[in-house]
Structure 1
Amino acid sequence: MKYDHIFDSLEIETKPFALCEIAGVRKVALPADGAVTLHYVLSGEGNVIMPRRAAISISPGSLILVPALVQHEIRSTATGTIPAPACQPAELELRHVLTKGGPDEAEQAPLLALCAHIVIGLKGSGNLIDLLHDPLHMHISQQHPLFGGLKTLLGELSRPDLGSRAMVRAILLQAVIEMLRQRMAMGDGALHWMAALRDPAVWKALKAMLDAPQARHSVESLSELAGMSRSCFAKRFSQAYGSGPMELLRDLRMRKAGRLLSETDKPVKAIAAEVGFASRSAFSRQFELATGQSPRSFRTALKDR
């Protein structure tokens, strides 16, 4: 029960934006995004592929949470046997990312995955999910109480009606909470940041970075905010989060930059200043180091998807 008060205070928002439909042995390449992305597999089988990470097998009921700024692919193996209904994503204001198979694959069940952006806040803080640096995955089996939500999602997507978007968001919200609590119970290292929320002193420093990653934070200023010596703070922060405070600050700046590149038309120079860089060139070098793309290429890839 030690995390219940944290879950009670979390403000989780799900923003479904696309339905991926992959027929046959095909794939959909998804560019690095400025937000954390959830994929909920509704039918079909395959894998999610990310750079420098093991492939994650997926089937109906699979949930994959992909960190911001991570390119990935959804690949169908065309081995699913359960037919999926014809969906109408446009009626729910969702993009339809469709990859068709060949004539000999027409009878095979497609892989369907509902895609959503996830936002998590706490006590007025910035987006906590920016602290996620490794993917999370979970499988909801047919025996799981939430498996009925999968069937409901298929119904809402194939027969959209009044309140369908609200219903889709509510089911995704349930799924995210279940994933977080399951992975927490298993001690998943990707959720080190949840431990930091339980430490009031570390939380003060963490909240300062989340709320204003562009500020001139240092280990000294953050340790003063936490009311600790520099060495004690650095050790306690690393134990709670899994990395040093300056490493986290760099990641938070890049993720804020990714959101600004995704959601606004601000010039790269203005975004650089907004995330704490004195020059566009220094920002561009750091962003390319973090994502493998220049800020301009990152923005173009998202607009073209």
Structure 2
Amino acid sequence: MQLSHEPVLNELDIQAEPFAVCTLEGSCKLYLGQRPEAVWHYVVSGTGKLKIQSMTDVELHSGRIVLVPAGSRHSLIHNGSADVSGGVNIPAKLDLERIAAKGEGNGKMIVLCGAVSLGMRNTNGLVDLLRTPLHLDIETSAIAERAVLGIIDEVTGHRTGGQAMVRLLLLQCVFEILRQRLEAGDPALIWLSGLADPNLWQALRVMLDNPGGAHSLESLAEAAGMSRSRFAEQFKAAYGRAPMSFLRELRMARAAQMLLDGRQPVKQIARKLGFQSRSAFTRAFTEFCGQSPRLFRTSDHSCY
């Protein structure tokens, strides 16, 4: 690992909270919709696919962990094949939502699902920067494999504090995904490497803390203690996009989360994200997401 990665990983604040057990029997699809947080899926047993809107399908098999970007509409698909992993029953004692789908065939896929939040240096919102799914096969990591064996032991056992222990073990797995992909130079995590630059971090933190603020290239460069041209060049090299383009994407990602949360009217969300009118926000969001804020919030996409 490059030396600059060490302080970044050391200061990450990751929360991984299990919320559901998904069971797919036979050849079927289970629509999971969208959540304002990033979502992880751990395949306890079985094989199939994870289908994510506008992204390449991710193959699923026993022992695979997948981290899905926040706000991504996605489904679990089971191919109906017989379960060769021996099968695992997750007891009702583990207080998680039970979601099931059933189709033709006797095969079964069981997936443990949860929400992920990611912060750094007392700042939330880093999970907004994840744009593509990440996955890890536990056979490639002794750390992840030990954690997963512990998860299986907890979800099939009868000990007190099972859900808390599952949360801690999954936290190790999520961290291991990030660490492996960072070490491999995965372009999907270019922004994580960029956090090592303390000057650029100051500008990024301004955007994460208040994406709707009246930011400009000049004000962000000032926050970073750089000239406009130097800041623009280094920011794009670190985060893969020009500063103002990055800010627009961050605003739309935050808007999607707020819309899915459902507690604020569209006009209020628009104002909080720096738009002078609801119509201006609607145009920007529709261009970014392919549908209006109202449709994004209310549509039933279960056919996806």
> What TM-score, normalized to structure 1?
0.90
C-alpha RMSD of the superposition: 2.3
CA deviations on 1:221-248 (whole Å, 9 max, x unpaired) are 1112212222211111010001111122
Moved more, 231-240 or 47-56: 47-56
Moved more, 157-166 or 212-221: 157-166
Structure 1 unaligned runs (5+)? none
In structure 2, the residue matched to 1:231 is 229
* Separation in 2, partners of 1:229, 1:188: 29
Would the alpha carbon gap of residues 218 and 300 (structure 1) be closer, same or farther in structure 2, given more than 3 Å must change?
Answer: same
Select 2:44's aligned residue among 18, 42, 45: 42
Answer yes or no: is the 8 Å Cα contact 1:35–1:255 preserved in 2: no
Answer yes or no: is the 8 Å Cα contact 2:217–2:228 preserved in 1: yes
In structure 1, the residue matched to 2:241 is 243
CA deviations on 1:8-41 (whole Å, 9 max, x unpaired) are 1111111222222111121122323322111111
In structure 1, the residue matched to 2:94 is 92
Select 2:12's aligned residue among 10, 13, 33: 10
* Separation in 1, partners of 2:201, 2:116: 21
Residue 23 in structure 1 maps to residue 21 in structure 2: no
Answer yes or no: is the 8 Å Cα contact 1:44–1:60 preserved in 2: yes
Equivalent AA in structure 2 for residue 28 of structure 1: L
Would the alpha carbon gap of residues 182 and 282 (structure 1) be closer, same or farther in structure 2, given more than 3 Å must change?
Answer: same
Answer yes or no: is the 8 Å Cα contact 1:35–1:258 preserved in 2: no
Residue 117 of structure 1 aligns to a residue whose secondary structure is strand
> What TM-score, normalized to structure 2?
0.90
Structure 2 unaligned runs (5+)? none
Report how far residue 101 of structure 1 moved: 2.4
* Separation in 2, partners of 1:250, 1:97: 35
Moved more, 144-153 or 184-193: 144-153
CA deviations on 1:84-124 (whole Å, 9 max, x unpaired) are 233245x434222201123xx23x2x111111111111111
Equivalent AA in structure 1 for residue 275 of structure 2: F
In structure 1, the residue matched to 2:289 is 291
Residue 147 in structure 1 maps to residue 145 in structure 2: yes
Moved more, 175-184 or 259-268: 259-268
| Structure (1/2) with the larger strand percentage | 2
In structure 1, the residue matched to 2:111 is 113
In structure 1, the residue matched to 2:84 is 81
* Separation in 1, partners of 2:193, 2:27: 41
* Separation in 2, partners of 1:278, 1:182: 42
Q: Trace 1:205-216 onto structure 2 (pairs within 5 A).
A: 205-216=203-214
Answer yes or no: is the 8 Å Cα contact 1:131–1:193 preserved in 2: yes
Q: How many residues end up aligned between the 2 structures?
A: 300
In structure 2, the residue matched to 1:133 is 131
